[in-house]
Amino acid sequence: MIKLSDLCAEQIGPSGFEFTPSGHLKLKTKRFPWSVVQREFEYLYNTIIDNKLTRGFEACTGVGISGLAAGLAMKQTGGKIVTLDAYIEEALEDPNYGSHAPTLNHNAVAFETVHALIAKYQLEGSLIPVVGWTPDNVAEHIEANFSQPLDYVFIDGGHTPNQVIKDINAVLPYANADTHWLFHDAHDGVFSQDVKNFVQEKLGKSRVIVCPASEGCNDLAILQ
């Protein structure tokens, strides 16, 4: 299992990584975005390995660490994951972009860094990064890469209840009853009662937090 500390030991991509005081990785040259933490990285990886998942979609890429976990696992299962991001959080250096018009940052340092991670760990074909806005560009990139339903979905986009519902709705046509749905920062402020009601109605499932903030994580959750 890769240790996130190993990624700080060398220059990866044009910026390189450094830790935040809370144990997340960020680009040295940018304030945001921040990555998942080590325990969450391992949970994502193990979810794919343990369930032999092969068709994944992620919104959003951030600095590429959750995608790296999924890509490494998909390499083992013979699958692939498409990870989509507009890289607006990097451009604004602010995670609160909910009122911003859809904008695609094709020159993001994080996008270059994800490609550097792919080269370093030989994940060509296993981890596929694309520049796009969710929910607007979700369908085209899923349809370009998959002809069967997704079995792994990781949602870590805009942290508002309305955006979470939009992100789920965008992926729903490409999922089925066997799809594993995971969410980052799924605390009640984001995963509100409206979101809980929505996933119960549409998916017949409920949120279960598996890596809680009380234990140094970011309320990583899975639907069960």
Considering the chain, what percentage of its residues have pLDDT values greater than 90? Answer: 95
Can you give the length of the chain in residues?
A: 224
Q: Count of CB atoms within 10 A of residue 40's CB?
A: 25
d(CA 181, CA 194): 17
153 forms bridges with which residues in the sheet?
Answer: 57, 181
pLDDT in tens, 111-154: 999 999 999 999 999 999 999 999 999 999 999 999 999 999 99
Distance (Å, whole) CA 179 – CA 75:
19
Q: What DSSP state is assigned to residue 93? A: T
12-23 residue pLDDT tens: 999 999 999 999
* Boundaries of domain holding 147: 4-223
Nearest to 159 by CA among 83, 91, 221: 221
Mean pLDDT of the chain: 97
Is the confidence at residue 93, as pLDDT, over 90?
Answer: no
User: Residue 25 and residue 37: Cα distance in Å, rounded?
Assistant: 8
CATH number of the domain bearing residue 98 = 3.40.50.150
What's the rounded Cα separation, in Å, for the pair 78 and 98?
36
Find how far residue 178's CA is from the centre of its chain.
19
For residue 96, name the pLDDT band (cuts at 50, 70, 90): confident
User: What stretch of H or E contains 222?
Assistant: strand 220-223
Helices within 161-209 (DSSP H only):
161-171, 193-203
Mean pLDDT, range 55-69, rounded to an integer: 98
Q: Is the distance from CB of 56 to CB of 19 less than 8 angstroms?
A: no
Average pLDDT over residues 68-89: 98
Q: Note the pLDDT of residue 97.
A: 84
pLDDT of residue 212: 98
Q: How many domains, in total, are found in the chain?
A: 1
Backbone angles phi, psi at 85, to 5 degrees: -155, 145
pLDDT in tens, 190-215: 999 999 999 999 999 999 999 999 99
Judge if pTM exceeds 0.95.
Answer: yes
